[in-house]
Chains A and B, each alone.
Chain A
Amino acid sequence: DIGGIGRKYHLKVVLEDVLDQDSTVNCTAEVLYHLGNKNVAPDVQFTLEGELKNTDEADNIFYSRIKSLEEELVAENIPDSHGNMPPEMKPIHLLAWVASGYVIWQNSTENTMFQLAQIKHVKQVKRSDEYLEFDYTILLHEMVTQEIIPWQMTVLWHPQHGVQVTQ
């Protein structure tokens, strides 16, 4: 407890690659939840003890595939009710996962636990610059209240420049 400011947590976590469970990286972090003001995201400082895997090849394959689509990508219900997802949607799902991480961080308090439940709808927006843009409608599951919360997010991505999220 930090008087007048908030509550700080010191964490030691292990990051596990979703696509390769044997690939792990240790991480230490400090999370500060601010007192009172619920509209401010918690402060997060972290240190990775090791390196994240290089994903350039997969990134470039995905980037080229989307860039070369004749029509803008449109999809819904990823995964579907039975948990299935066409293989070509996997990167779209992973991108949503990353972007929703940002949304979750911005909306987290000590009494929330959010997970991405499903991509309800995703639509690519063609851009004249080199970024890829996707408009997502996602469903977030909040564990404590058990509510399913729809959320709109616009995601920009580029293999070298990373992810950007606007809500």
Chain B
Amino acid sequence: LQVDLWQPSSPFHIIEGTVTDVRVPRNASRSLLPYLQHANIQYTILLADVQRAIENQTGLRTYRNRRSLSGYNYEVYHTLEEIQDWMQHLNRTHPDLVHLFSVGTSYEGRPLSVLKLGKRSRPYKKAVWIDCGIHAREWIGPAFCQWFVKEALQTYQTDPAMRKMLTQLYFYIMPVFNVDGYHFSWTNDRFWRKTRSKNTRFRCHGVDANRNWKVKWCDEGASFHPCDDTYCGPFPESEPEVKAVAHFLRKHRKQIKAYLSFHAYAQMLLYPYSYKYATIPNFSCVESAASNAVNALQSAYGIRYRYGPASSTLYVSSGSSMDWAYKTGIPYAFAFELRDTGHFGFLLPETLIKPTCTETMLAVKNITLHLLKKCH
């Protein structure tokens, strides 16, 4: 009879009188318990059903629960596969509000999936673009994108603001922009940031997907060295992920009125420019939208966000998606840096997913409603 020794760490430490914890498969307990009784060894059953305990702790990844919207756990981090399954599930179950499509393929051959949310109420509707997970290790980003979709679908009928948003606009949501990097951060390196493209001359992989856009490319705040975490790439849009999304946004630039990109961490709401210290032409509209959004966010749990142009609020960087979206003609381009400010940093605990997403929803709804009031 083989047992899985949980305590102590090795049989070497077992002497007479030592408390020992073991795990056995259910059928093995039928022979173990009588044996212990026969040998006069006292025992207590600590966990009668380990499988159940694990499921309760990790948030029910069983297939049965993935079938329903309410069964999916939005308060845990999900693998890429789980997110892909979730998107397909929503596509099947909410055909009136959800349309799943792909804008291209990643370096490693994965689909670049986007959800189009909204009521097909009229032939031409303006749109909002939201992407999460440009940087692989910023897990709270994709968690928020999923949360946004959930809120949209669950409150569309009961919340007048959400109903207005989904009736008057389309939302393009890309829950995981950097699919290869995200997968890598689950399997190999939790702190991976870049894409996973191979470099011909160095043994380093990946390009910073937020330095690879064609706007003042590889100027200040980006690196030419392939091994650096802010590597801008061999040329603009060298990364298939960036090229695919840029192509989509360019094609729909007349329709898309807001570009929102979600990152972590710093607790900031940023708008252009990142590549220079200068004021954007529609500063007063954008600044007031940001100010109101940050107040709305703070109203939830008192969390303070700083806001302003990225160059002076965070740091100067070039080739960012936000600057490119703005240059392409999208009047509201924002980058969120979600919780926290460094205590957990990238490793934001799952228990903080709900408050972070709840407060961020308020900011996003606020920006969207501001957008509908026409101050471009």
A interface residues with partner B (beta carbon < 8 Å): 18, 79-85, 115-118, 139, 141, 143-148
Contact = CB atoms under 8 A, between A and B. Distances in A.
Given A143-B315, A147-B229, A83 B348 contact: yes
B350 interface: yes
Given A79-B347, A117-B345, A118-B347, A145 B230 contact: yes
B350 A83 contact: yes
A117 B230 contact: no
B349 A84 contact: yes
B343 A84 contact: no
Given A79-B344, A147-B228, A147-B229, A117 B350 contact: no
Nearest to A83: B349
A146 B342 CA distance: 13
A84 B344 CA distance: 10
A83 B347 contact: yes
B191 A115 contact: no
Contacts of A79: 344, 347, 349
B352 interface: yes
The binding surface of chain B is classed by DSSP as loop
B345 A115 contact: yes
B322 to A, nearest CB: 16
A47 B237 CA distance: 50
20 contacts: A79-B347, A80-B347, A81-B186, A81-B347, A82-B76, A82-B77, A82-B350, A83-B347, A115-B342, A115-B345, A139-B191, A141-B191, A141-B346, A145-B223, A145-B229, A145-B230, A146-B193, A146-B230, A147-B229, A148-B229
Interface residues of B, number: 24
B78 to A, nearest CB: 11
B120 interface: no
Contact of B191 (A80, A85, A116, A148): A148
The binding surface of chain A is classed by DSSP as loop
A81 B185 CA distance: 9
A79 B348 CA distance: 9
A84 B351 CA distance: 9
3 smallest beta-carbon distances between A and B, as pairs: A83-B349, A115-B342, A146-B229
Interface in B331-376: 342-352
Contacts of A116: 342, 345
Interface in B190-226: 190-191, 193, 208, 223
Scoring B76, B208, B347 by chain A CB atoms within 10 A of each residue's CB, the highest score goes to B347
Contacts of A83: 344, 347-352
A139 B346 CA distance: 12
A125 to B, nearest CB: 19
Contacts of B223: 145
Contacts of A85: 349
B5 to A, nearest CB: 15
A144 B76 CA distance: 29
A147 B204 CA distance: 14
A85 B347 CA distance: 10
Contacts of A117: 191, 345-347
Nearest to B346: A117
Nearest to A21: B302
Contact of B315 (A115, A139, A144, A147): A144
